[in-house]
Amino acid sequence: MNATHDARRQSWVVSANRPGGAFPIQNLPLGVFEAAKRPAIGIAIGDQVLGLRNCAGLLGGLPAGTVEACDATTLNPLMAGGPESWSALRARLSDLLRADHPRVADHQRALAPHLLAMAEVTMLKPAVIGGFTDFYASIDHATRVGRLFRPENPLLPNYKYVPIGYHGRASSIVLSGSAVRRPRGQIASSPGGAPQFAPSRALDYEIEVGFFVGTGNRWGEPIAIEHAASHLFGVCLLNDWTARDIQAWEYQPLGPFLAKSFATSISPWIVTMEALAPFRVGASLRPAQDPAPLAYLASEQDQAEGGIDLRLEVHLRSARMDEAVRISRCNLRQLYWTSAQLVTHHASNGCNLQPGDLLGSGTVSGREDEARGCLLELTQNGREPVSLASGEKRAFLEDGDEVVFRGYCERDGFVGIGLGECRGTVVGGE
């Protein structure tokens, strides 16, 4: 941690100092927005957006290529710059925006005219996502789902040895706020019966965290667990929309396909790994009877600080409701596998990760009933529907339902930060 995490630091952007806000000066997440019909990289500060190209004259002396990367129209060039570049840029921006800087009047005069109200800008996808891999890192989710379909053997024997994942569809990743069309697919109405091609009747959400890769690795060269964390740029919220009835028919023997590839929603702001530093915690403790991670996945440092105390909430609003209501909450710190282990395992066979690649955590769930991260878990595969404030019930999502994810971090002695929101509304597929 460094001075950018100082709880006493405040910004001359007044809205950044409001208690409970997602984007104080201690956060400074990065995103891409549209201004003057041109995409631009910006940071969120309070309820404002500051374009980084407007800061160019105040960014001298940063590591080579950093200023040029700030003038790009996606975050990929900045992601490729590496931790030294990211940290130096964050420190400079924090200085430019802090209220007690000796040259605060100059900074305010130069930058205040370029602040735009967040509500008035159009956010774009933050990076060109060349590859998307979704993991299955929550043992509570894996166990609970396994129990629904294999009560005698809920957790397969490989789970405690290998971070399970699959390669998803990068082209159908959409930004928060995009409508999600109900997919059609092959659905078997009864065990052993012939399928029909029809709209999904069991559409679900999955609350996840997305990890954006910063610097990649050369093809054929693995990433050691000791260095894996430095390859991650930051995190976002991720909704892995899933058609459970399509999934049930198609997933054997090769796993997820059309039941998931129709849409994945992400939040627009990427909270950097450095901003998350105060909220790092030890990896989730494994039961004594569980096998230790294999050597290439084992690191004392990662076990000491590989977890992130990131609280996640799911809110649901039907077309008949004025406001979304919370239906579950969980915490990223409960994952069985750390983000560094996901990176190391992904590259362990020589697979080359690239700047802008996205790694999904998999559904985040916990041991508590309220910590179930999808409707499949919450409703016991539709057998116990969730009751909404409107009097409606939900086994799975209906047309017009809006799903809202929120994420935030808090710790005594530090200013809390948020990830913002990831929203998506289901529309009919007919």
> What are the two backbone dihedrals, phi and then psi, of residue 307, each rounded to the nearest 5 degrees?
-90, 165
Q: Which two tokens stand for residue 319?
A: 């077309």
What is the C-alpha separation between 300 and 302, in angstroms, rounded?
5
Please check whether residue 373 is in contact with residue 328, taking contact to mean a CB–CB distance below 8 angstroms: yes
Q: How far, CA to CA in Å, does 365 sit from each of 305, 332, 377, 382, 391?
A: 20, 8, 9, 18, 26
Catalytic annotation present for 141: yes
Q: Within a 10 A sphere around the Cβ of 102, how many other Cβ atoms? A: 8
Q: Decide: 107 and 17 in contact? Cβ < 8 Å.
A: no
DSSP conformation letters of 63-86: STTHHHHHTSSSSHHHHHT-HHHH
Query: Regarding beta strands 264-266 and 173-175, do their DSSP bridges make them parallel or antiparallel, or are they unpaired?
Result: parallel
Q: Give the active site residue among 107, 141, 315, 346.
A: 141
Give yes or no for a contact between 82 and 214, defined as CB atoms under 8 angstroms apart. yes
> Contact 27/13 with Cβ under 8 angstroms?
no
Residue 118, both tokens: 């967040």
For β-strands 115-117 and 48-51, DSSP reports them as: antiparallel
Dihedrals φ, ψ of 327, to 5°?
Answer: -120, -15
**Residue 247 carries which DSSP code?**
H
Q: Which two tokens stand for residue 344?
A: 């190391």
| Cα 186 from Cα 257, distance rounded (Å) | 12
- H or E segment at 314? strand 311-317
Q: How far is CA 232 from CA 46, 78, 304, 354, 371, in A?
A: 25, 12, 18, 11, 26
Q: What amino acid positions are annotated as catalytic residues? A: 141
